[in-house]
């Protein structure tokens, strides 16, 4: 797990001069043709890591890369991981793939940016990487050159990542905690490793690095705020049962919430395919996270919230009901919802502006959608209604200002999202 070791900006420049690529780990892979069971296991692990989502562009060929991954430092485009020999990873050995996942260094020895989540993948065992390699070798090779990242200086210098790694990244294979159950350990391996849940759900510092002590307390990913997965009752998963976590990851919704934004893609492309046993393990691990929740703010009042109540009655209550309780199995409750009371309201604002779709999974195929209200509601009305739902029916969370909504609206235009 990547840890946050130092914070001084000066240290970054100092370290730059001495940075070098770390040594390769010992590799014990064999070179025979993989068995079917190895390939099948690899396919499952690739689902668990949700590799296809980032490595497939909209309407693009699977795993051929080209998806734009927005970061605070610029746009990074995912790479071609099909087995094409010239433009993909067809020439990569198992050891090459392991070095990329474990150390963040590609076959040519270049540093990868941590938009590729090697700070989490570093925990994946060599055996699992071997299976992933075996599976990726079977997908359709696509000839498609990688698109260079569009980052501002100094982030455009890949060598800077050596410094970043020195400061914020520890290599380390998952070893587990012998005092915990096998189920907890399996869950920890999936959540902290391949699942790379912390990539969004753990807060990041100015350099985009996460801190172990804040693990899963909520963070940003692709402009959405991923709510806390820790034990908080108000804004975390403290109020969810393990069964509810499993249902959410398997089907895209449960009695407490529906997946939206990047999490909807996560369920659609990854977690719905995981075994009930693995999902139960992840739930067991998440339910073990501590409750570090801060004190609830006082309920917001005033003009903004009053306006929000009216907007809610006109535009939201039809589905989510006046009581905020939603409709069981169809539209999620807002009352008591940890997603609604998340530390930051960015995701809620984006859902109101852009709409959202519950992922259409095998077990719940409907794909219910909330429409965009970007054309109907102005910034003040959006701020009002989001502030209202965060403070109605016993909910408590910070209000949102008109200015913040305006900023997010313009950000969405830049991203090409929303009307």
Partner 1 sequence: MATRLKEVDVVLVGFGLTASILAQELTEDRALQVLALERGPWRDTVPDFSTAWIQDELKYAVRKQMFEDPERETLTFRNSMDQRALPMRHLGSFLPAAGVGGAAVHWNGQYWRYQPVDFMLRSHVEQRYGKQFIPADMTIQDWGVTYEQLEPCYDRFEYMLGISGKAGNLQGTVQQGGNPFEGPRRRDFPNPPLKRSYPTVLFDKGARAAGYEPFPCAAANTSRPYKNIYGVQMGECTYCGYCEWFGCGNYSKASPQTTILPALRRKSNFECRTHCNVTRVNLDSTGRRATGVMYVDAQGREFEQPAQLVILCAYAQHNVRLMLLSGIGKPYDPVANTGVVGRNYAYQIMSSVDVFFKEIINPFMGAGALGQGINEFNTGNFDHGPHGFIGGGYIALWTTGGRPILQHYLPEGTPKWGAGWKKALAENYLKASSIQCHGSVMSYRSNYLDLDPTWKDAYGNPLLRLTFDYQKNEHAMSDFLTDKAVSIAKAMDLRSYHAKQRKGHYSIVPYQTTHNTGGAAMGSDPSNSAVNPYLQSWDVSNVFVMGSSVFPQNGGYNPTGTVGALAYWAVDAIRNRYLKSPGPLMQA
Q: Which residues bind partner 1 (CB under 8 A)?
A: 315, 318-319, 327-331, 355, 357, 360, 362-373, 375-376
| Cβ at position 349, least distance to partner 1 in Å | 16
**Residue with structure tokens 């852009």?**
354
| Cβ at position 291, least distance to partner 1 in Å | 32
CA torsion sign for 374, 383, 404, 225 is: negative
d(C-alpha 284, C-alpha 256), whole Å: 18
Nearer to partner 1, 6 or 319 (CB): 319
Q: What one-character-per-residue DSSP string does 289-351 give?
A: S---PPPPPPPP-SHHHHHHHHHHHHHTHHHH-TTS--BTTTB---TT-TTTT-S--HHHHHH
| Cβ at position 363, least distance to partner 1 in Å | 8
**Quick one: which of 227, 205, 202, 226 has its CA closest to 216?**
202
43 bridge partner residues? none
| Cβ at position 8, least distance to partner 1 in Å | 49
Nearer to partner 1, 143 or 376 (CB): 376
| Cβ at position 373, least distance to partner 1 in Å | 5
Nearer to partner 1, 20 or 328 (CB): 328
**Quick one: which of 47, 107, 43 has its CA closest to 279?**
47
User: Of how many residues is the chain composed?
Assistant: 419
Nearer to partner 1, 303 or 363 (CB): 363
| Torsion angle of C-alpha atoms 290, 286, 171, 196, degrees rounded to 10 | -130
- 16 Cβ contact partners less than 8 Å away, ≥ 6 residues apart: 159, 160, 162, 163
Nearer to partner 1, 239 or 355 (CB): 355
Nearer to partner 1, 44 or 373 (CB): 373
| Cβ at position 360, least distance to partner 1 in Å | 6
d(C-alpha 350, C-alpha 381), whole Å: 13
């Amino acid at each position: 797990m990547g840890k946050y070791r130092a914070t001084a900006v000066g240290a970054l420049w100092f370290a730059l001069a001495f940075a070098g690529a770390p040594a390769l780990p010992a590799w014990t892979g064999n070179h025979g043709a993989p068995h079917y069971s190895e390939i099948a296991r690899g396919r499952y692990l690739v689902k668990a890591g949700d590799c296809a989502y980032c490595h497939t562009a909209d309407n693009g060929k699977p795993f051929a890369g080209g998806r734009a991954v927005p970061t605070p430092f610029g746009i990074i485009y995912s790479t071609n991981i099909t087995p094409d020999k010239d433009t993909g990873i067809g020439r990569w050995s198992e050891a090459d793939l392991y070095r990329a996942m474990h150390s963040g260094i590609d076959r040519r020895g270049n540093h990868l940016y941590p938009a590729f989540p090697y700070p989490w993948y570093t925990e994946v065992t060599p055996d699992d990487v071997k299976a992933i390699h075996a599976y990726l070798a079977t997908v359709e090779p696509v000839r498609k050159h990688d698109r260079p990242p569009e980052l501002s200086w100094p982030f455009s210098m890949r060598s800077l990542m050596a410094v970043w790694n020195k400061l914020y990244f520890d290599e380390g294979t998952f070893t587990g905690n012998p005092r915990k159950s096998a189920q907890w350990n399996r869950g920890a391996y999936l959540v902290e490793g391949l699942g790379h849940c912390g990539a969004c759900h753990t807060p990041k510092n100015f350099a985009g690095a996460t801190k172990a002590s804040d693990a899963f307390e909520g963070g940003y990913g692709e402009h959405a705020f991923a709510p806390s997965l820790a034990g908080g009752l108000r804004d975390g998963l403290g109020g969810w049962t393990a069964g509810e976590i499993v249902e959410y990851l398997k089907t895209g919704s449960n009695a407490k919430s529906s997946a939206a934004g990047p999490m909807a893609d996560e369920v659609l492309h990854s977690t719905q395919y995981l075994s009930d046993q693995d999902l139960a393990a992840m739930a067991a691990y998440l339910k073990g996270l501590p409750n570090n929740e801060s004190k609830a703010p006082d309920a917001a009042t005033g003009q903004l919230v009053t306006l929000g109540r009216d907007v809610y009655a006109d535009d939201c209550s039809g589905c989510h009901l006046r009581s905020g309780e939603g409709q069981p199995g169809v539209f999620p409750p807002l009352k008591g919802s940890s997603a609604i009371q998340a530390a930051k309201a960015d995701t809620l604002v984006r859902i109101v502006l852009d709409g959202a779709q519950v992922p259409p999974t095998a077990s719940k195929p409907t794909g219910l959608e909330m429409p965009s209200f970007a054309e109907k509601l102005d910034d003040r009305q959006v701020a009002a209604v989001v502030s209202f739902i965060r403070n109605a029916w016993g909910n408590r969370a910070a209000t949102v200002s008109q200015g913040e909504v305006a900023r997010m609206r313009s950000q969405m235009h830049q991203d090409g999202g929303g009307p």
